[in-house]
Amino acid sequence: MTEAAFRKMSEQDYLRLLEGSDVRYEFIDGFVYAQAGATNAHNQLALNLALLLQPEARKRGCRTYQNDMRLRLESKNGQPTHYYPDLMVSCEPATQVAGTLHLSAPCLIVEILSRSTGRADKNEKWKDYQMLESLKVYLMVDSLSRGAALYRRTADGWAYEIVEDRFTLPCPAVELSLTEIYDGVPL
């Protein structure tokens, strides 16, 4: 995450800020954080994943969204949080609030880890993502070296898995490999 704006704002003010901006801002505990641009490896990983997931998602009436779709989370303190995950799959339609679209029930969230975002993706965001009843898998893909890990929802909570090469996702129901994900990615 980047530096926060110096004053707290309401969700309505945040949504107004988004209306006239080309910059993506996340909204956390009333503070706004500008999102940095991505590297070539990051963009290629996100594109590869979207191309691998979308055909199966579409067959099941779901959609794949890349990093410009916001995720809105209700938080424990009553102030909503808005993130821009690198990739999401949702079988629920996007919701419109104050003229802007967001998702609130993805079944899959993917974050591409980098030096600047890795800590937040593994900690703060993961803590928030766990609150989503719809979420079945949280996949973290490294943009600096070949590797991935995921959290999978089980009957007993969440199971952590380090991805070896081939793995299966439940939503959409698809088998992926690190070879496919990293195809053509400059590391």
The reported pTM is 0.92
23: its two tokens: 């910059």
23 vs 96, which has greater pLDDT?
Answer: 23
Residue 78 has pLDDT above 80, yes or no: no
- Give residue limits of the domains in the chain: 38-181
46: its two tokens: 């996100």
For residue 2, the model assigns a pLDDT of 47
Assigned fold of 38-181: tt1808, chain A (3.90.1570)
Distance CA 28, CA 170 (A): 29
CB 71 within 8 A of CB 83: yes
Across-strand partners of 15?
Answer: none
DSSP helix/strand/coil, 9: coil
Q: Please give the single-letter amino acid code of residue 150.
A: L
Task: Read off the pLDDT band of 6 (50, 70, 90).
Answer: low
Whether omega before 172 lies within 30 degrees of 0, making that bond cis, reads yes
